[in-house]
Amino acid sequence: MLAVSSPRTAAIRSALAIGLAILVAACSSAPPFDAKAVAMEWAAYMQRDYVLRPGDRLSVRVELIRPEGGDTQDTSQEVRVSPTGTIDLRQLSAPLHVGGRSVAATRSEILEAYKLQFNDPRVTVSLVEAAAQSVYVCGEVRSGGPIAYQPGLTMTQAIAAAGSFHYTIKHSDVRILRLGPDGSNRTFRVNLEAVLLEQYPDFLLLPGDVVYCQTSGIADAGNWVDLWFRRLLPFSIGGPALGSFQ
């Protein structure tokens, strides 16, 4: 005698099949990202594309030789960009306006100012602390939302600042969404587990990046079972869906 499947039984089988497919897909991991290219993009952004604004803090190192000769003087100082976009540096008679300039352009401005008083000065400028800017962390983290950006902020640091991740996270495939200067969108895939095990380098973030921590396949499967299996039963089964723990 042939068994006839009811619509409800068919729906349950379909849901279980989908859940199994999700679980199998979860076994795949994100391919290694090009860490060198990411680091070079970060360095280029900080020198060329990052625009200084009031509140930014800079480290300025100047190596000086006076015109009349004498010993070389090597000075380092940290300065904060004023509300009017200027900085004050030692041995310069007037403030320099740097607001709206890149770090590289600011270095050139400082170099030209010191050349008026010294022979062959050497100048190094780096951004130590950015004014209020953010990256955004969402998905399977305990406290998603904007995270204050600091130069050198990495993916794992941003996730930790968001209260760390839930156990339902898909460790093998965290997504980084980045909006380019031309308005284009790019997505990077990062294997968080490999980063934590020191198999991959951490991912350097830029202001405005979005870190999306996906739900793991087994958690997705648990949610599918809850949606398509538990709710079809004429009686309730205790316990929340796997992906619903907070």
Model pTM score: 0.66
Quote the strand ranges of 66-168, DSSP E.
Answer: 73-80, 86-87, 96-97, 119-129, 134-139, 145-148
DSSP, res 93: S
Cα distance between residue 181 and residue 152, in whole Å: 19
pLDDT in tens, 11-57: 455 545 555 554 444 455 677 788 889 999 998 888 888 899 999 99
- CATH homologous superfamily of 32-49+131-215: Outer membrane lipoprotein wza domain like (3.10.560.10)
Q: In angstroms, how far is CA 182 from the centroid of its own chain? A: 19
Pairing between β-strand 185-190 and β-strand 210-215 as defined by DSSP bridges: unpaired
Low-confidence ranges of the chain (pLDDT < 50): 1-4, 11, 15, 22-26, 241-246
Q: What is the pLDDT of residue 246?
A: 45
Cα distance between residue 150 and residue 135, in whole Å: 9
Give me the count of residues in the chain: 246
Task: Identify the CATH class of 51-129.
Answer: alpha beta
Q: What is the number of alpha carbons within 13 Å of residue 132 lying toward its C-beta?
A: 1
pLDDT in tens, 103-126: 999 999 999 999 988 888 999 999
